[in-house]
Amino acid sequence: MAMLEINDIHTYYGNIHALKGISLTVEEGEIVTLIGANGAGKTTTLRTISGLLTPREGSISYLGNDITGVPAHDLVYQRMAMVPEGRGVFAKLTVQENLEMGAYSRNDKEGIARDFERVFELFPRLKERRKQVAGTLSGGEQQMLATGRAMMTSPRLLMLDEPSMGLAPVLVDAVFDAIVEINKEGTTILLVEQNALMALSIANRGYVLQTGQIVLHDDAAALKQNEMVQKAYLGMD
Amino acid sequence: MFNTLQEKFPLIQKFALLGGIVAIYLTAVGVVITFSLRNLIGTFVSLGHVFLVLGAVGAGVLIAQQFKDEDDASTYVAGFLTGAMSSVSLILFNIVVQLFVVQASEEGVFHLREMFVNFSPDSLAFLTFGQGFLFGNVLLFFLFGLMGLLGVSFIRLPEKIRRGWINGLIWVFSVGLFSENVSQVIRELFKYSGTSFNKILFTQKALNPVAAIVLFALTFAFGYMGIKTATSQKWAAMPVEKQKTGRIVITVMAVIFVAALPWLVGLFLSQALFIIGMYVMMGLGLNIVVGYAGLLDLGYVAFFAFGAYTMGILTTTGVLGRSDLNFWTALPFAMLVGVLWGVLLGFPVLRMRGDYLAIVTLGFGEIIRILALSNWLAPLGGGAQGVLHIPQPEFFGLSMNSPQAMYYLVVLGAVLAAFVTIRLRDSRLGRQWMAMREDEDVAEAMGINLVQTKLLAFSIGAAFSALAGSIFAARLGNIFPHSFNILISINALALIIVGGLGSIPGVVVGAIILIGLPEMLREFAEYRLLMYGILLIIMMIVKPDGFMPEARRRQEIKDEKDFLTEQAAKSEG
Ligand SMILES: Nc1ncnc2c1ncn2[C@@H]1O[C@H](COP(=O)(O)OP(=O)(O)OP(=O)(O)O)[C@@H](O)[C@H]1O
Ligand SMILES: [Mg+2]
C-alpha cells in the first residue's frame, strides 16, 4: 500500500476550478516530483494534501488513513510536513527559535536534540547563524531554515514547494544535496519544482501537471527523455 | 566660512521656511496664545513661548545635522540665520494683524478676524512681547535667531556639556510645567516640618526664576558628570548577589512609591492615576490581541462595556437591579461575560485578517454601543438613561469611596493583568500567538490550532477589558452608553503603539503619556486631539517601535545593525 494516495481530487478557489481531478501516489522511501508551468496547480495540490485546503471531491489517504478534510495542524502529528512556497520563515524569531517552533508538536526531548544536530549537520550555515534573526538571512539560508524547520517535525513525508526558487546555482545544489540526504535517511519526499531538470535528476518518478490535470506520469529517467517534457520544461528543441 | 554659508544657503532657506511654517501654524490655530496662560518660569516664560519657538529650535537642529562636516563657527552662524529667518512668517503675521485688525478695527473695512479668530491684538501683543510694533518685531527676529542657536547647541556642544545642557533644560521645563503638581507633592512631604519650600520654589503656579536657575545648575551638573551612566556602570560591576539584594531594595521602593503616590499627588491627580491604571489594564489586554496575536481589534471598547454593564446590572440598588451581589461577587461574572463575548465575537472573524478584521471589529464596537442605547434593550440596561446607583466596593466593611481607595483597586488589577500577561507570553500559548502573528499558514503547518489560538487571544484580552470596565462602573456609580464610544478603543490602541507593541512597560509609559498628560493639562482640552495627532505622527517617524520597544524587537534592531555592518565588511573585504 502506498504511503500517500490521492484519488481524483477537485479543489476550488471560490468558483475557480483549480484542480480538475488529480490522482497520484507516493510510495514509502521515494522521491516523487511534480512539475508544471506557472499556475498549473502544483502549490494547490500540496496545500490540499497538507490540509490547508479541502477538496470538494475526491479522497486522500495517508499511511492507510483517510485524511480528506483533516486540518493541517492535526496532520503534523501524523508526521507529514510541508515547506511552503516562498519559505515562510518566522522573520522576527532567531534561527534557533524557528527550529524550536518546528518541534512545537513534539515533546520527546532527546529526539528533538538529535534532530537539532541532524539539521545543523545538513546545513552547517544555520549553525553559524543560530542567533541571527531569520528575517535577515539570505534567501538561500531562509530556504535551508524552512527545510530544517520542517525536519524538526520529524516527518515521514516531507513536501517541498519550489525549494530552488530565487537561489543561485551553488545554493540550489546545496539544497538539492540536502534533500537527497534527507531522503537517504528515510524520509519520503514529494517535491514541486519549476527547475524540472534538477528535480528529475534526483527523483524516482515524476508527474507533469497542466491546468489542474495530470497529463503525464512516468519514471524520472523516462520523463527526462520524453519529447514533450523536453520541449516544454527542459527548454530543449 | 562665508563660502560654506553661501554654498549651503538653499538649505538654510529651506529649514527656515519649515520652521516658519511650524511657528505660524501653531500661532494661527491658537496654540501659542492659549498655552501662554500656563507659566513655566515666573510670569515671563510660558508654555506658549515654548510652542512659539519650537519651529526655530527645530530648524536649528536640522541645519546643524546638515553641517556635520563644517566648523563650529559657520554652523552656529547658520543656526542663527535659520532661526532668525524663520521668524519672517510671524513678522508678516504681525504686519497683517497690525494693518487689517488693529488699524481697521473701528470701521471694519475688512473683517479678517471673522475667519481667523487668532489674528487678534492679543496675539500681536504676545508676539511683540508688549514692546511696541517696531521694537517688538526686531526682538522677535533676534529671539528666533537665538533659538536657532539653541537648536544647534543640542547637536554641537561637546558631549559632556551637551548632556548637562539638555538634562537641565528638560528638568526646568518639566518642573515648571507641572509646578502645581510638584508643589502639591512637596506640601504633602513636608506637611509636618513647618518649613514652606513651596514659597521659595514657586511663584504663581510657576517656577521662581531663582529656583529655576538653581534647579538648572543642579541638573546640569548631574548631566555633566554623567551620573546616569556612572550608576549603570557601577551596577553592572557589582557582584551578582549584591545585584540581587539591590533588585529587592528597588522593588520594595517601587512598591512604596506606587502605594504612596495617590496621597502625595492629591485628589485630582489620584483620579487621573485611576484612569491611567484602568487604561493600563485595557492596554495589557489589547496588547495580547494586537501585540502578541497580531489581530487588529478596533472594537475593544465592546468588552469594556460588557464588563461595566454586567457589573452595573448585577450590583445596582436602582430599578434595574437583578441580584444582590456585591462588587466582589459580581466581578467573576463580569469577567466571564467578557470572555464569552470574546469567544462569540471571535468566531465570525476567525477567517479574517488585517484590515478586514479591523473594519469588522470596528463595527462590532459601534453595534454594542447602539444596542445599549436602544429601547429594545432598555429593560435590561436602561437605554439612554444608563444604569444608576451602582454601589462602590466594600473592603472589610469599609466603603472604597475615595479616588485613592479605587486607585489601589485598579493598581491591583493592573498588576494581576501584567502578571498573567508575562506568564502567558513565556508559555506555549505565547509562542503559538507569536507564530500565528508571523505567518498563519506556517503556524498551522507546525501543528498550531489557529481557531483555538485566536479565540484564546480574543477571550483573554476581553477578560482584562471587562475587568477594567467593572471597576470603571463601580467607581463612577452610573454608566451611560455614550461612555463607551470608539475613542476608548482608539486610546487603548494608540497607547500600546506609542509605548511599543508587545511591550509591558510600554503599556504603562504609553498610558502615562497619552492618558495621564492630557489629564494634567486639562485646561487645554481643545487641543488634545491636535497634540495627540502630532505626537503620533512624530512617533511613527522618529521612534516607530515605540518608547519602550519589546525586548525581542530591540534585539532585532541590534541584529539587523550587526548584520548590515557584517555584510558591509564582507563586501569591502
Ligand atoms: N487564493 C487563490 N484564489 C484564487 N485563485 C487562486 C488562488 N491561489 C491560486 N489560484 C489559482 O489557481 C491556479 C493554480 O495555482 P497554483 O498556485 O497552484 O499554481 P502553481 O502551479 O503552484 O504555480 P507556480 O509555479 O507559479 O507557483 C492558478 O490559476 C491560480 O491563479
Ligand atoms: Mg506554486
Q: Rounded CA gap, B287 and B503, in Å?
A: 8
A16 pocket-lining for ligand 1 (C-beta < 6 Å): yes
Which region among A38-52, A146-160, B309-323, B485-499 has the lowest average model confidence (pLDDT)? B309-323
Q: Which residues pair with B399 in a beta bridge?
A: B394
Show contacts of A7-10: CB within 8 Å, 24+ apart: A7/A58, A7/A59, A7/A60, A7/A61, A8/A57, A8/A58, A8/A59, A9/A48, A9/A55, A9/A57, A9/A58, A9/A59, A9/A60, A10/A55, A10/A56, A10/A57, A10/A58
Does B554 score more than 60 pLDDT? no
Does B108 score more than 60 pLDDT? no
* Each residue's pLDDT tens digit, B195-241: 777 888 888 788 889 999 999 999 999 988 887 788 888 888 888 88
* Each residue's pLDDT tens digit, A94-139: 999 999 999 998 888 899 999 999 999 999 999 999 999 999 998 8
Q: Whose CA is nearest to atom 7 of ligand 1?
A: A13
pLDDT, chain A, mean: 91
The minimum-distance atom of ligand 1 relative to the CA of A41 is 18
Confidence of residue A182 (pLDDT cuts 50, 70, 90): very high
Closest CA to B490 of B358, B343, B340: B358
| pLDDT attached to residue B353 | 75
Does B434 sit within 8 Å of A92, measured CB to CB? yes
Q: Is the distance from CB of B328 to CB of B393 less than 8 angstroms?
A: yes
Cα A58 to ligand 1 centre (Å): 19
Confidence of residue A153 (pLDDT cuts 50, 70, 90): very high
Around Cβ B557, how many Cβ atoms within 10 Å? 12
| pLDDT attached to residue B564 | 60
A41 pocket-lining for ligand 1 (C-beta < 6 Å): yes
Q: Which of A138-147, B79-88, B229-238 has the highest mean pLDDT?
A: B79-88
Q: Which residues pair with A206 in a beta bridge?
A: A33, A218
Q: Is the distance from CB of B308 to CB of B479 less than 8 angstroms?
A: yes
Domains and CATH numbers, chain B: 1-156 (no CATH), 159-237 (no CATH), 267-559 (1.10.3470)
What's the whole-number mean pLDDT along residues B344-372? 87
Write the CB contacts of B172 (distance below 8 Å, at least 6 apart in sequence): B40, B41, B207, B212, B215, B216, B219
What's the whole-number mean pLDDT along residues B359-379? 89
Interface test with A, best of B437, B438, B545 (most A CBs within 10 A): B438
Ligand nearest to the backbone CA of A85:
2
Does B447 sit within 8 Å of A73, measured CB to CB? yes
Query: Closest-CA residue in chain A for B450?
Result: A73
* Each residue's pLDDT tens digit, B305-353: 999 999 999 999 888 877 888 899 999 999 999 999 999 988 888 878 7
A149 touches chain B (CB under 8 A): yes
**What's the grid cell of residue B216?**
538648572
Higher pLDDT among residues B523 and B147, named by residue = B147
How far are the Cα atoms of A89, B270, B304, B507 from residue B488, in angstroms, in the given order?
A: 35, 20, 9, 15
Cα A41 to ligand 1 centre (Å): 6
ipTM: 0.87
| pLDDT attached to residue B569 | 65
- Rg (alpha carbons) of chain A, rounded to whole number: 17
| pLDDT attached to residue B397 | 75
What's the whole-number mean pLDDT along residues B511-536? 85
| pLDDT attached to residue B27 | 92
* Each residue's pLDDT tens digit, B266-300: 888 888 999 999 999 999 999 999 999 999 999 99
Q: Is the distance from CB of A190 to CB of A50 less than 8 angstroms?
A: no
Assign B293 to helix, strand or coil: coil
Q: Rounded CA gap, B379 and B149, in Å?
A: 66
**What's the grid cell of residue B327?**
462588587
| pLDDT attached to residue B181 | 86
Confidence of residue A64 (pLDDT cuts 50, 70, 90): very high
Q: Which of A176-190, A216-230, B238-252 has the highest mean pLDDT?
A: A176-190
Q: Is the distance from CB of A213 to CB of A22 less than 8 angstroms?
A: yes
Give percent of chain B above pLDDT 70: 94
Confidence of residue B414 (pLDDT cuts 50, 70, 90): very high
pTM of the entire predicted model = 0.85
How far are the Cα atoms of A104, A185, B53 from residue A109, in angstroms, in the given order?
A: 11, 20, 63
| Residue B457 Cα, gap to closest chain A Cα (Å) | 18
Lateral strand order in the sheet of B39-41: B45-46, B39-41, B206-207, B202-203
Query: Closest-CA residue in chain B for A158?
Result: B445
| pLDDT attached to residue B566 | 64
Q: Rounded CA gap, A234 and A232, in Å?
A: 6
Q: Is the distance from CB of B518 to CB of B25 less than 8 angstroms?
A: no
The residue to mutate among A10, A19, A22, A44, having the most atoms of ligand 1 within 8 angstroms of its beta carbon, is A44
Confidence of residue B552 (pLDDT cuts 50, 70, 90): low
Q: Rounded CA gap, B314 and B177, in Å?
A: 43
CA B428 to chain centre: 32
Higher pLDDT among residues A87 and B120, named by residue = B120
Pairing between β-strand B398-399 and β-strand B394-395 as defined by DSSP bridges: antiparallel
Q: Rounded CA gap, B71 and B215, in Å?
A: 32
What's the whole-number mean pLDDT along residues B82-96? 93
Phi-psi category of residue B501: left, alpha or beta, with phi > 0 → left and psi -120 to 50 → alpha: beta
| pLDDT attached to residue B107 | 57
What's the whole-number mean pLDDT along residues B158-178? 92
Does A84 sit within 8 Å of B438, measured CB to CB? no
A164 pocket-lining for ligand 1 (C-beta < 6 Å): no
Show contacts of A135-140: CB within 8 Å, 24+ apart: A135/A89, A135/A91, A135/A92, A135/B556, A136/B559, A136/B560, A136/B563, A137/A89, A137/A95, A139/A87, A139/A166, A139/A167, A140/A167, A140/A168, A140/A171, A140/A174, A140/A175
Residue B2: in which H helix or E strand, if any? helix B2-7
pLDDT, chain B, mean: 88
Residues with CB under 5 A from ligand 2 (ion): A 43, 85
Give percent of chain B above pLDDT 90: 50
Q: Is B242 exposed, middle or buried (0-12, 13-18, 19+ CB in 10 A)?
A: exposed
The torsion defined by the Cα of B460, B461, B467 and B469, in degrees rounded to 10, comes to: -150
Does B462 score more than 50 pLDDT? yes
Q: Whose CA is nearest to atom 25 of ligand 1?
A: A38
Q: Whose CA is nearest to atom 31 of ligand 1?
A: A39
Q: List, as one string, the DSSP characters of B495-512.
A: HHHHH-TT-HHHHHHHHI
What's the whole-number mean pLDDT along residues B430-450? 91
CA B50 to chain centre: 18
Does B82 score more than 70 pLDDT? yes
Q: Rounded CA gap, A57 and B429, in Å?
A: 35
Least CB–CB distance from B445: residue in A76, A93, A131: A76
| pLDDT attached to residue B106 | 60
Confidence of residue B573 (pLDDT cuts 50, 70, 90): very low
Does B571 score more than 80 pLDDT? no
Least CB–CB distance from A104: residue in B448, B450, B563: B448
Q: Rounded CA gap, B509 and B321, in Å?
A: 38
Q: Rounded CA gap, B121 and B558, in Å?
A: 53
Cα A211 to ligand 1 centre (Å): 10
| pLDDT attached to residue B249 | 92
Does B136 score more than 90 pLDDT? yes
Confidence of residue A44 (pLDDT cuts 50, 70, 90): very high
